[in-house]
């Protein structure tokens, strides 16, 4: 379970996150929907311990990130927006490096890498340099890596950027498959409304604030429009109108 409680973060005068709260239960797939600049990346940087919030608390699997970062982050898997593999190392070497960082015994690491490569249709490619792979296959490697230490919470930060439709669908179906094997909490950040698909939970973030949170039906009802798309654009527009309102009319 992922729990974010009243988290705020500013960059100088820019308030990137303003008392953001959300929970994603084990076994839930939550889409974090927000336009560019909504604060998604900032939230992910806080969740993954790269930055410390100005206020509020984050719990991963019940463990507070600020007070027990090593324990909390050991339960977290992340695929960042920017690709983060060593292009000149092989797939297997990249994965082993990650396993080492998590202190996994070599035999266990090799077994899980083998399983991951088979599951993601890369069994024949473990020795290939990452540089030689397509964008879609690099994402698959990053997902195998994020799952190696069997996290309780998986963060996907705009992980489909730059991928074609089949690769995006494949990535999503791989995650569904992983969730069937283990009840992880998944937080999938995107600014593409079509990626909501069958998400059980949607959180709408705009200018650092949560505008709506719940099932797709609940979010549509909260935004007050016939479709999520219409509601999202209306709410984003309204929020922009209210940005200068010191009372925070939409919060
Ligand atoms: N290092 C920084 N210094 C100053 N302002 C920043 C910094 N990083 C982000 N911001 C600002 O904080 C706000 C939230 O940005 P953030 O990157 O978290 O949003 P995002 O939803 O991830 O957007 P995108 O989809 O474009 O990546 C924006 O106004 C952005 O300009």
> Measured between alpha carbons, how far is 16 from 226 in angstroms, rounded to an integer?
29
Q: Does residue 236 sit in the same domain as residue 176? A: yes
Answer with the one of 150, 171, 186 that is the final residue of a domain: 150
Distance in angstroms (rounded) separating the CA atoms of residues 200 and 30: 6
* Closest atom of ligand 1 relative to the 158 alpha carbon: 25
Domain containing 134 equals 85-150
Q: Residues 212, 218, 219, 220: is their CA dihedral positive or negative?
A: negative
Is 11's C-beta closer than 6 angstroms to any atom of ligand 1?
yes
Q: How far is the CA of 116 from the centre of ligand 1 (A)?
A: 33
SS3 of the chain: the string is CEEEEEEEEEECCEEEEEEEEEEECCCCEEEEECCCCCCHHHHHHHHCCCCCCCEEEEEECCEECCCCHHHHHCCEEEECCCCCCCCCCEHHHHHHHHHHHCCCCHHHHHHHHHHHHHHCCCHHHCCCEHHHCCHHHHHHHHHHHHHCCCCCEEEEECCCCCCCHHHHHHHHHHHHHHHHHCCCEEEEEECCHHHHCCCCEEEEEECCEEEEEECHHHHHHHHCCCCHHHHHHHHHHHHHHHCCCCCCCCC
pLDDT value, residue 121: 87
Instruction: Mark the ranges of the chain whose per-residue pLDDT is less than 50.
Output: 240-251
Question: pTM here?
Answer: 0.88
Whether residues 146 and 158 fall in one domain: no
Residues 217 and 104 in one domain: no
Confirm whether 250 is domain-assigned: no
Around Cβ 235, how many Cβ atoms within 10 Å? 20
- Does residue 251 lie in a domain region? no
Q: Is 39 in the pocket of ligand 1 (CB under 6 A)?
A: yes
112 in any annotated domain? yes
For residue 26, is it within any domain? yes
Q: Are 29 and 179 in contact (CB under 8 A)?
A: yes
In a domain, 164, yes or no: yes
**Domain tally for the chain?**
2
CB 22 within 8 A of CB 204: no
Distance 10 CA to ligand 1 centre (A): 10
* Ligand 1 neighbourhood includes 190 CB (under 6 angstroms): no
Residue-wise pLDDT tens digits, 157-169? 988 887 888 888 8
- Could you tell me which of 32, 27, 18 has the C-alpha nearest to residue 213? 32
Between the CA of 75 and the centroid of ligand 1 the distance, in Å, is: 26
Q: Which of 18, 38, 54 to mutate to test the pocket of ligand 1 (most atoms within 8 A of CB)?
A: 38
CATH number of the domain at 11, please.
Answer: 3.40.50.300
**Rounded CA Rg of the chain:** 18
Decide whether any atom of ligand 1 lies within 6 Å of the 32 Cβ: no
Q: Specify whether 9 is located in the same domain as 56.
A: yes
Q: Are 19 and 29 in contact (CB under 8 A)?
A: no
Asked if this assembly's ipTM is beyond 0.90, the reply is yes
Same domain, 58 and 113: no
Protein residue with its CA nearest to atom 7 in ligand 1: 11
Q: Is 165 in the pocket of ligand 1 (CB under 6 A)?
A: no
């Amino acid at each position: 379970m992922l729990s974010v409680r009243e988290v705020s973060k500013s960059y100088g005068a820019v308030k990137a996150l303003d008392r953001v709260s959300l929970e994603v239960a084990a076994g839930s797939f939550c889409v974090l929907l927000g336009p560019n600049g909504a604060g998604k990346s900032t939230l992910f940087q806080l969740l993954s311990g790269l930055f410390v919030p100005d206020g509020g608390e984050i719990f991963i699997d019940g463990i507070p990130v600020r007070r027990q970062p090593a324990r909390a982050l050991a339960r977290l898997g992340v695929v960042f927006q920017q690709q983060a593999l060593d292009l000149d190392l092989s797939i297997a070497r990249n994965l082993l490096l990650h396993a080492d960082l998590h202190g996994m015994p070599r035999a266990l690491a090799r077994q899980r890498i083998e399983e991951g490569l088979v599951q993601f249709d890369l069994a024949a490619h473990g020795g290939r340099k990452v540089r030689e792979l397509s964008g879609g296959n690099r994402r698959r490697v990053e997902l195998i890596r994020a799952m190696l230490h069997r996290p309780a919470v998986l963060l996907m930060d705009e992980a489909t950027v730059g991928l074609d439709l089949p690769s995006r669908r494949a990535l999503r179906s791989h995650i569904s498959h992983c969730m069937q094997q283990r009840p992880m909490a998944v937080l999938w950040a995107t600014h593409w409304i079509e990626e909501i698909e069958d998400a059980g939970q949607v959180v709408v973030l705009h200018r650092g604030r949560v505008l709506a949170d719940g099932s797709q039906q609940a979010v549509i009802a909260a935004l007050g429009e016939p479709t999520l798309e219409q509601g999202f654009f209306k709410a984003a527009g309204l929020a922009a109108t209210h940005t200068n309102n010191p009372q925070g009319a939409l919060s």
